[in-house]
Structure 1
Amino acid sequence: MGLAEGPVLVRVPATSANLGPGFDALGLALALHDEIEVRVAGSGLSLEVSGESADDVVGAGERHLIVRAMRVAFDALDVAQPAGLALRCVNRIPHGRGLGSSAAAIVAGLLAARALAGASVAPGDVLPLASELEGHPDNVAPCLLGGLTIAWTAESKDEGLAEGATLPPVPCARAVRLEPLPEVRPVVFVAPESVSTKVARGLLPAAVPHGDAARNAGRAALLVAALTSSPGALLDATEDWLHQDYRAPAMPQSHELVIRLRAAGVPAVISGAGPSVLAFLAGNSGRDDASRLDSIAGETGIDWRISPLAVERRGASVVPRVSSAR
């Protein structure tokens, strides 16, 4: 299998995971996109980055997450690493804010490499490796599939083994996609400062009370219904007992904003591992809602970047290569 010279154009959306009670399972794709153009070069690595956190990543070289994902994909496809790569990245997804920037980079790298190699870019063929690189599937699933996704990890079986031979089961990410109601409108409150996902996850306890787990299971099921058929239940459906309160010390203003929004009747959650906040609006009040949200956010005393965003319903996309394989 040879590589095309390219260029390959990849567009990947931001995502919000957890959505409150759907810890490590539910995710929503948002209409805010990074765009990546990749081509095979004669030698070396050329990396051009503009937009969000450009100064922080432009000098990353081989450590850049898109490049690392591409290298892994070429190896997984048993394709020789190209002599050179040239990448041009336009970043719009904030980094370290709980909006799936790392998942987007991983998905972009895997899709670009597979497109250059002429391999399938179907979401189901990309999801397992994307989840393995990210460490969990709740962001990479909506990034690939769009819409609302429920993701989980199952044990895969190697059907090519000789009779009687056994290998340990291999975890394999899977997901189903659902269509959120058009009237449900996400609003993102992007925090001015980042919080490390590792730090946020490190605050979680090793165990939680059985009652809290049971309540969360019910709310997660209700949330799927609320987003797809019963938006009137969104406030109750977004209640969480598994992670948000435990993570509050790392993001006190985010925690305060969620409390204030919910007290005003607005369904709100920490987006992913935070510190950004995701709220849901339903109906057609428009300007009145925007003014109310601005006022509530202002009460926290910090400068939130408030962005009403549509649901990205298509997911990641790849523009086919324009030159033939060599």
Structure 2
Amino acid sequence: MKQISVPGSSANLGPGFDVFGLALKATSPSQKFSVCLELQIEPLPPGAAPPGNCEIICIGEGADSLSTVYDENLVTKVALYVLRSHGIVGFHSPVRICMHSGIPLSRGLGSSAAAVVAGVMLGNEIGQLNLSMERMFDYCLVVERHPDNVGAACHGGFIGAFMKMQAPPSEPSETLSKSLDPPPEDIASYHRFQVNPDIKIIIIIPDFHLATTAARERLPQTYSREDAIFNSQRCSLLPVLLGESPLNPAKISEAMRDRLHQPYRQDLIPGFERVLQKLKPEVYPGLLGVCLSGAGPSILALATSNFERIAEAVCAILREAQDIRYDWQVLEVDHEGATCRDI
């Protein structure tokens, strides 16, 4: 039996809109969210063949909303595309796939990127294709066209990424349902940055969903030169600052400011604007900076200490603006990325 594990991720990270990605890992098995998608792949005897030779069991976060039909579930649809592009039609022998998600859905924690990465790895395993992680990265990007999330989920760590060529003209849904063609090679480049080991990630997770497509619709088609320069300047410094020892909270907090996406999305997360105003390192020792996780609605804070005080301060501000439940966890950087192991 095989187990595929893919970490959740946080994209954008302040000024790094569509550039930076951070792979996430729970600090303890007792935490509410493992922030990881796991697939257990178990061969079935020929006499127990389910429809499509694939039985799917979904448990964990959002399991009730996930399809258990082999050609509808995102993970298995991606696997079928990978197989089809290698001339393999469907799952060639019966298999049971148990999907356990510890990543909250539609909260800015990379649940869809993790599903796509897991699907590519599943296709690679089922078809015994022996694809490298670099080649699997190409497959991921023709379906989930965000190299920041996908790069972090695949490779782990704190990464910067960019597309080297335009994605194929077909929509991802068409690729999954019709395409026979493998993706071009070397679609994107990424680089793993060093992260000071004292840095932890506080994730504040609200009890509501926000679709990435809805958040994207809030963004303008063009930006001013001033805003582009503002973010470029901070993007150039943030990776260096996060790898330094000792850390400089004042510089990091300033380097995590953004003008390209957060100002246009902040009204989708009531109270977030006030969080940015109030949460400063000089007021909360140990805090390094605050930003949206991905497109939101989760909020991310980087810190080295005083985790509970920082998290509760964010939650208190958010509750003043909107009376809903908030969960929070302290996470670490996942340096391993996606894996496939015998169990």
Question: Fold match, TM over 0.5?
Answer: yes
Counterparts of 1:123 and 1:259, CA distance in 2:
41
Counterparts of 1:278 and 1:37, CA distance in 2:
30
Counterparts of 1:275 and 1:252, CA distance in 2:
9
1:221-241 deviation line (CA, Å, top 9, x unaligned) = 111112222631320110101
Structure 2 runs not aligned, ≥5 long: 26-34, 167-183
What residue is the counterpart of 1:161 in the other structure? none
For the 8 Å contact 1:151–1:176, the answer to whether it is kept is yes
1:206 and 2:221 matched: yes
For the 8 Å contact 1:28–1:142, the answer to whether it is kept is yes
**Displacement of 1:179:** 2.7
| Equivalent position to 2:318, from 300, 304, 314 | 300
Closer, same or farther: CA 77–256 of 1 in aligned 2, 3 Å? farther
| Equivalent position to 1:67, from 72, 76, 82 | 76
**Displacement of 1:109:** 0.9
What residue is the counterpart of 1:115 in the other structure? 125
1:257 and 2:275 matched: yes
**Displacement of 1:293:** 2.6
Counterparts of 2:204 and 2:70, CA distance in 1:
31
1:144 and 2:159 matched: no
1:6-48 deviation line (CA, Å, top 9, x unaligned) = x331001010000010010110000021111124553413211
Paired amino acid for 2:62: S
Helix, strand or coil: the match of 1:37?
A: strand
Within 5 Å, give how 1:88-127 maps onto structure 2: 88-127=98-137
Bigger CA drift: 208-217 or 246-255? 246-255
Bigger CA drift: 214-223 or 60-69? 60-69
Helix, strand or coil: the match of 1:298?
A: helix
Counterparts of 2:81 and 2:16, CA distance in 1:
29
Paired amino acid for 2:235: A
What residue is the counterpart of 1:162 in the other structure? none
Counterparts of 1:29 and 1:310, CA distance in 2:
8
For the 8 Å contact 2:11–2:293, the answer to whether it is kept is yes
Helix, strand or coil: the match of 2:192?
A: strand
The runs of at least 4 consecutive aligned structure 1 residues that moved more than 6 Å come to none
1:22 and 2:19 matched: no
1:293-313 deviation line (CA, Å, top 9, x unaligned) = 313422321422111001101
Paired amino acid for 2:196: L
Helix, strand or coil: the match of 1:155?
A: coil
Closer, same or farther: CA 211–123 of 1 in aligned 2, 3 Å? same
1:240 and 2:258 matched: yes
TM-score by length of 1: 0.85
Closer, same or farther: CA 212–87 of 1 in aligned 2, 3 Å? same
RMSD: 2.1
**Displacement of 1:290:** 1.4
**Displacement of 1:256:** 3.6
**Displacement of 1:178:** 2.1
Bigger CA drift: 123-132 or 296-305? 296-305
Counterparts of 1:75 and 1:19, CA distance in 2:
35
Bigger CA drift: 268-277 or 128-137? 128-137
TM-score by length of 2: 0.81
Paired amino acid for 2:60: G
1:196 and 2:211 matched: yes
Counterparts of 2:119 and 2:185, CA distance in 1:
23
For the 8 Å contact 2:91–2:126, the answer to whether it is kept is no
What residue is the counterpart of 2:36 in the other structure? 33
Closer, same or farther: CA 276–296 of 1 in aligned 2, 3 Å? closer
Structure 1 runs not aligned, ≥5 long: 1-6, 157-168
Helix, strand or coil: the match of 2:105?
A: coil
Closer, same or farther: CA 229–203 of 1 in aligned 2, 3 Å? same
**Displacement of 1:61:** 4.5
State percent identity of aligned pairs. Answer: 28
**Displacement of 1:122:** 3.1
Counterparts of 2:277 and 2:209, CA distance in 1:
20
Within 5 Å, give how 1:153-168 maps onto structure 2: 153-155=163-165
For the 8 Å contact 2:157–2:192, the answer to whether it is kept is yes
